[in-house]
Structure 1
Amino acid sequence: MRALKLHEVSLADRLADRAVDALIDEADLSPKPALVDRRGNGAHTDLHLGLMHASALSLWPMFKEMAEAALEIGEIGLPLREALGRIGREGEQAMLITTNGVNTHRGAIWALGLLTAAAALDPGAVTLNAARLALLNDRHAPQTLSHGALVAQRYGARGAREEAQLGFPSVTQRGLPQLHKSRQQNAGEQNARLDALLAIMTELADTCVLYRAGYAGLTTLQQGAQA
């Protein structure tokens, strides 16, 4: 006789759990060059590990709502894209209230929000559907340029929007292959994840780094990751 299930966990719940777990795992991964980790704040003066955890947890309702919107609407199009934009902006406000105005996860709201909705639509075509969503313009989005967008224009770098529109090639072509390779070589899970991060850093034109340190800083980062 099966045990009585007092609460059935929905797909949206599970996807929200996965998204938040990913953010917390990323923050905890150590040692990460110049980034917040278990050792300290890295190059950030306004961030710390506890704040990253609190921020990630504050986004759980947003990720769940995004998954629910994808399940309810059921197809890629402007209605879903604009629903995700609205939910993302509301999630960003919840994040900023939690962090007292510090931008901890704005980029993650964009990237993981798309991926969460795409996974709800079809777990077998996550990056493809995320890219299709990213290619749609949200008519209600504020007409302001983020630091990343400004830097992308200045340096001709591919920003977060373009990365998503291409189906996250830095992850699928560099990060994940290196992760699988390191796991197969019995590197240990922490080292495999660090290897994947460094593989991405060798080529990614990180707009945050460009904003903070310019092209010289980005070159130093890429060369250091390669080494």
Structure 2
Amino acid sequence: MNYNLAQQTFFDSDDIYACQYAAAKAAQMALLKEVCLSPKPGLVDINNCGSHRDMDLNTFMRSISAISPWLDQFYLYGKSITVAGKFLPNLRPLGIQCEQSMFKATNNVNTHKGGVFAFGLLLAAIGKLDNDQIALSYQAICDEVAKACQGLVQQELETRNSATTVGEKLFKQHRLTGARGEAESGYLTVRNISLPIFKEMMITGHDEETSLLQAMLYLLAYNDDTNLVSRGGMAGLQYVQDAAKSIIAIGGMIQQGGKQKLLELDQQLIKRNLSPGGTADLIAITWFLSQFN
């Protein structure tokens, strides 16, 4: 598969499914921009594989190619919704099929399970808003997701006696709600932290990559990333948050040497086998929501 890393677009359009709907195209581009954003400490990017031994940039590109046809389906599903209470239960089968396509393309490597969950919800929400003839805005989209996911944490985390998945175990141990909590809040972390930073950086004349890296720094500093806790416990999360805050304190990406600090942090996270995968999903969501006023 050939792709232009600088422009984050594909040379050969036959390599990737061409999404039909504007929202799906934006979601596809968000996934591409996230993986190509560099340097991302502990994460796969154009520089290295981060703290991962089972995936690289090509794995992610295959994954995005496999996921892309389902992005249109998530949107069309939202346009078909007539009963609000059926939003989430009937969306799940589509999400599972999308995950199966991802795993087939990546030889059972989990590249985008969190992204499938998030963009399934976001695109279905947009489809429903379009069907209801409600003007699209990031606030309206997030409100629709929050409404669809109301009670999700209680239903899937609080009331379960056993803990089988990583997310369930981390909730039992540390009360971290992870991707479910973000969805139920209507992606409050993005709306309150990374999206305002990204927009402010863009408005003040910084390029998109620098702006996204600055937004990522704030996510690393303030997002309770369950992937970090899964790999390194609460101490691992605290280490990354403190390190990101120290870079922010000297200006982050605005100051000379900011990118070098990120590169150094990348090496430290690789050494500690830490990977902020939840933050990666929120970076993609940040760019995606920025496309809607």
Q: Tell me the TM-score range normalised by the shorter chain.
A: 0.7 to 0.9
Matches within 5 A, 1:18-97: 18-74=26-82, 76-78=84-86, 80-97=87-104
Q: Structure 2 CA distance, aligned partners of 1:175 and 1:135? A: 23
Cα contact 2:167–2:177 (8 A) shared by 1: no
1:181 paired residue among 200, 220, 229? 200
| Cα displacement (A) at 1:187 | 2.4
Amino acid at match of 2:207: G
| Cα displacement (A) at 1:93 | 0.5
Matches within 5 A, 1:180-199: 180-199=199-218
Q: Which has the higher contact order (CA 8 A, sep 6+)?
A: 2
Instruction: Determine whether 1:14 maps to 2:22.
Output: yes
In structure 2, what is the equivalent of residue 152 of structure 1? 171
| Cα displacement (A) at 1:75 | 5.1
Amino acid at match of 2:144: N
2:107 paired residue among 85, 97, 100? 100
Q: Deviations over 1:146-178 (max 9, x none)?
A: 322322321112311011101111100000010
Cα contact 2:63–2:111 (8 A) shared by 1: yes
In structure 2, runs of 5+ residues without a counterpart are 1-18, 130-135, 156-161, 247-293
Instruction: Determine whether 1:114 maps to 2:121.
Output: yes
Q: Deviations over 1:24-51 (max 9, x none)?
A: 1100000111111010101111110111
Cα contact 1:12–1:68 (8 A) shared by 2: no
Q: Structure 1 CA distance, aligned partners of 2:62 and 2:38? A: 18
TM-score (norm 2): 0.68
Amino acid at match of 2:81: I
Q: Structure 2 CA distance, aligned partners of 1:75 and 1:191? A: 42
Matches within 5 A, 1:115-154: 115-122=122-129, 123-124=136-137, 125-135=140-150, 145-154=164-173
SS in 2 for 1:77: helix
Measured on the aligned residues, the alpha-carbon RMSD in Å equals 1.9
Q: Structure 1 CA distance, aligned partners of 2:202 and 2:112? A: 28
Q: Structure 2 CA distance, aligned partners of 1:18 and 1:188? A: 19
Structure 1, 55-64 or 98-107: larger mean CA deviation: 55-64
SS in 2 for 1:202: helix
TM-score (norm 1): 0.87
In structure 2, what is the equivalent of residue 4 of structure 1? none
Q: Structure 2 CA distance, aligned partners of 1:29 and 1:74? A: 38
Q: Structure 1 CA distance, aligned partners of 2:202 and 2:59? A: 30
Cα contact 1:27–1:37 (8 A) shared by 2: yes
In structure 2, what is the equivalent of residue 6 of structure 1? none
Q: Deviations over 1:74-129 (max 9, x none)?
A: 45322x32221010001101110000000111111111110111112222310010
How many percent of aligned residue pairs carry the same amino acid?
30
Amino acid at match of 1:119: I
In structure 2, what is the equivalent of residue 7 of structure 1? none
CA, structure 1 residues 90+179, in 2 after alignment: closer, same or farther (shift >3 Å)?
A: same
Aligned residues: 212
Amino acid at match of 1:95: M
